[in-house]
Amino acid sequence: MIISKTAGISEIFSSIQGEGTHMGERHLFVRFERCNIHCEYCDEIDKAGEAFDIDSVVKRIVKLEEEAGPHHYVSLTGGEPLVYAPFLRMLCPQLRERKFKLYLETNGILDRALSEIIEWVDVIAMDMKPASVTKEKNYWEEHEKFLKAAKAKELFIKVILSKEIDTQEFMTCVKMLRTHAPSIPFILQPISLKDREGHDDRELLRLMAELQQMASYYLRDVRIIPRLHRILNIK
Ligand code: SF4
């Protein structure tokens, strides 16, 4: 964990939220640089950042809100924003004071870091990371602890799927959700790769429809949602 008055931020920009249940809303994105894991398909991991202090971030956000707002949320994204929890503990209250609502995009692993800032967060977009897709290890224990804490807020779970998804791993996600939060939205998102999009792959979409059907025996709200910004070819 980084303890610093600055954070590595690769970009601050206004765009349309392209993922999950808030798709289509205008968000003001703060993209943090580092991540605590390394998914094979990650499209953000190579983006270099700059050190920003709290004042510079707040000023950029206020300026962008004036120029391109209003925005539905300030979206803390990455990388993994919770790597910077000490910085967020200082930033989030300042954004709240200025009436911004906060949306946290996270890989759902750092539950202690979440507890440091959850009081200021309005929406949590939590990933679950099956190893068969990420080529990392599984994080079931971490995901379970995180989920139990995150469900105190508006929450949805997203799992990125490729044709390599292991059905047992997928069902582990489903059963964890059935145990702790069976009514929250469970989003199945086709993988994006540098040179191609999963939403163009008919075989993957067929597989996802089968997985949606399987998950729907256990959960109330299972949706297939591709990344809108990739379809629209915007940032
Ligand atoms: S958790 Fe997200 S930011 Fe981190 S490596 Fe995986 S895809 Fe990239």
Domain spans in the chain, listed from the N-terminal domain onward: 6-232
**pLDDT band at residue 214, thresholds of 50, 70 and 90?**
very high
pLDDT at position 230 is: 87
**pLDDT band at residue 2, thresholds of 50, 70 and 90?**
very low
Mean pLDDT of 89-108: 98
Residue 186 predicted with pLDDT over 90: yes
Is there a contact between 16 and 37 (Cβ–Cβ < 8 Å)?
A: no
pLDDT tens sequence across 134-182 = 999 999 999 999 999 999 999 999 999 999 999 999 999 999 999 999 9
pLDDT at position 5 is: 87
Task: Provide φ and ψ at 7, rounded to 5°.
Answer: -140, 150
Mean pLDDT of 14-32: 97
Residues facing residue 28 across a β-bridge: 14, 74
231: which residues sit within 8 A by CB, 6+ positions away?
A: 199
Nearest atom (ligand 1) to Cα of 43: 8
Query: Going by CA atoms, what residue is nearest to atom 8 of ligand 1?
Result: 42
As for ligand 1, residues whose beta carbon falls within 6 Å of it are: 35, 37-39, 42, 44-45, 78-80, 107
**Which superfamily does 6-232 belong to?**
Aldolase class I (3.20.20.70)
Mean pLDDT of 19-40: 96
Mean pLDDT of 180-199: 93
Show the tokens assigned to 80: 């993994």
Residues facing residue 29 across a β-bridge: 13, 75
Residue 75 predicted with pLDDT over 50: yes
Annotated binding site for substrate: 16-18, 31, 77
Show the tokens assigned to 45: 């991991």
pLDDT at position 3 is: 53
Alpha carbon of 78 to ligand 1 centroid (Å): 7
Residue 1 predicted with pLDDT over 80: no
pTM of the model: 0.96
CA distance 37 to 44: 12
pLDDT at position 48 is: 83
